[in-house]
Amino acid sequence: MSVEDGGMPGLGRSRQARWTLMLLLSTAMYGAHAPLLALCHVDGRVPFRPSSAVLLTELTKLLLCAFSLLVGWQAWPQGSPPWRQAAPFALSALLYGANNNLVIYLQRYMDPSTYQVLSNLKIGSTALFYCLFLRHHLSARQGLALLLLMVAGACYAAGGLQDPGNTLSGTHPAAAASPMPLHITPLGLLLLILYCLISGLSSVYTELLMKRQRLPLAIQNLFLYTFGVLLNLGLHAGSGPGPGFLEGFSGWAALVVLSQALNGLLMSAVMKHGSSITRLFVVSCSLVVNAVLSAALLRLQLTATFFLATLLIGLAVRLYYGSH
């Protein structure tokens, strides 16, 4: 398996096993995010400010990077500090920050189901930028695999889980009382396209940056998350009135922050040693983990659509990474 295909060439068995374990852990953490967030709910809503959680996640990532440098897990390069190489990471942090805020803003112009289905177009935008900027050619077989990933994500979003208390409509009982019709405004469509483009661009740009710079991953992460903390600190300060910084946090909320921070670090390793395409497969495979945990923890029912989505994801993995 080549780097372009998301693997690491020339690895021994032990290193390949660690790489596989890292991908599995990242898949599990992605999949656990939504169920863990649901367990944080109090009276049907998140009791803390989302901007607080995002800022704490970025700060945790930054502290973990600094710790790895201090204890010698990663070596600081010899010579003068490479501060000039930090500047390009400001754009990465800005793109990620813009995308995180667009997700919230989009909800004003479309219903959640429409967003979940159409947001899978970011798979296509990532593949497009991957080919343009990294000069990698995707075969017809690989292109079909990515198309199947988009379809699988749309299938899962359209009805992979169902509340047993409302089996006829497949929606939450609270939503059944005042259902939100499927809709998207013209402005919402434009913003969604912008969201998908920024999502793909941020992923591919960060991968390009990490691979071109000959710096240890921990130092690159230190640059990236320093800008991330500064950006999100400003966004939190400007988010208006709301709960206090740590108000409403529970053990579940702390677990959400920690898992997201660790997963961010794992994804950085994937971007440096694997590819943005590998990240797409990790995110898509996490849908299976998300569904299983939602069924176990939130008592939601798996539907036939979920099994169709799982089948499509498995087929996509086989097409992309299988022998040609």
Reported as a single tens digit per residue, the pLDDT across 171-191 is: 444 334 445 566 788 898 999
Q: Classify the C-alpha dihedral 184-190-191-197 as positive or negative.
A: positive
The candidate with the shortest Cα–Cα distance to 101, out of 183, 14, 191, 172, is 191
Compute how many other C-beta atoms are within 10 angstroms of the C-beta atom of residue 222. Answer: 22
Q: How sure is the predictor about 210, in pLDDT bands with cuts at 50, 70 and 90?
A: very high
Residue 166 has pLDDT above 60, yes or no: no
Residue 130 has pLDDT above 90, yes or no: yes
Q: Residues 77-122: pLDDT tens digits? A: 666 667 788 999 999 999 988 888 788 778 778 876 677 788 889 9
Asked if the structure places residue 40 within a domain, the reply is no
Higher pLDDT, 5 or 263: 263
23-32, 223-232, 243-252, range with the lowest pLDDT: 243-252
User: What's the number of domains the chain is made of?
Assistant: 1
Q: Which residues does residue 162 pair with via DSSP β-bridges, in sequence order?
A: 301
Q: Residues 268-282: pLDDT tens digits? A: 999 999 999 999 999
Contact of 278 with 6, CB cutoff 8 Å? yes
Asked if the structure places residue 110 within a domain, the reply is yes
> Could you give phi then psi for residue 24, rounded to 5 degrees?
-65, -40
Asked if the structure places residue 193 within a domain, the reply is yes
Q: How sure is the predictor about 323, in pLDDT bands with cuts at 50, 70 and 90?
A: low
Residue 232 has pLDDT above 50, yes or no: yes
Residue 244's region, left for phi above 0, alpha for psi from -120 to 50, else beta, is beta
Q: Classify the C-alpha dihedral 320-99-92-283 as positive or negative.
A: negative
Structure tokens at 125: 């935008």
Asked if the structure places residue 31 within a domain, the reply is no
Q: Classify the C-alpha dihedral 104-30-210-261 as positive or negative.
A: positive
Q: Which residues does residue 132 pair with via DSSP β-bridges, in sequence order?
A: none
8-17, 140-149, 242-251, range with the lowest pLDDT: 8-17
Asked if the structure places residue 173 within a domain, the reply is no
Residue 203 has pLDDT above 80, yes or no: yes
Asked if the structure places residue 148 within a domain, the reply is yes
273 contacts: CB under 8 Å, gap ≥ 6 = 3, 8, 19
CA pair distance 75, 232, nearest whole angstrom: 28
Higher pLDDT, 169 or 24: 24
Q: Classify the C-alpha dihedral 138-141-142-147 as positive or negative.
A: positive
Structure tokens at 287: 């849908």
Average pLDDT, integer, range 129-134: 93
Residue 10's region, left for phi above 0, alpha for psi from -120 to 50, else beta, is left
Residue 248 has pLDDT above 60, yes or no: yes
CA pair distance 92, 286, nearest whole angstrom: 24
Average pLDDT, the chain: 84
Contact of 116 with 290, CB cutoff 8 Å? no
CA pair distance 179, 166, nearest whole angstrom: 12
Average pLDDT, integer, range 201-222: 91
Asked if the structure places residue 211 within a domain, the reply is yes
The pLDDT of residue 165 is 61
State the residue range of the domain holding 206: 83-162+182-238+269-323
Asked if the structure places residue 259 within a domain, the reply is no
73 contacts: CB under 8 Å, gap ≥ 6 = 218
Average pLDDT, integer, range 126-154: 93
Structure tokens at 81: 């500090």
The number of CA neighbours under 13 Å toward the Cβ of 185 is 9
Cite the beta strand spans of 157-279 per DSSP E: 161-162
Q: Residues 32-87: pLDDT tens digits? A: 988 888 888 888 788 888 888 889 999 999 999 888 888 876 666 666 667 788 99
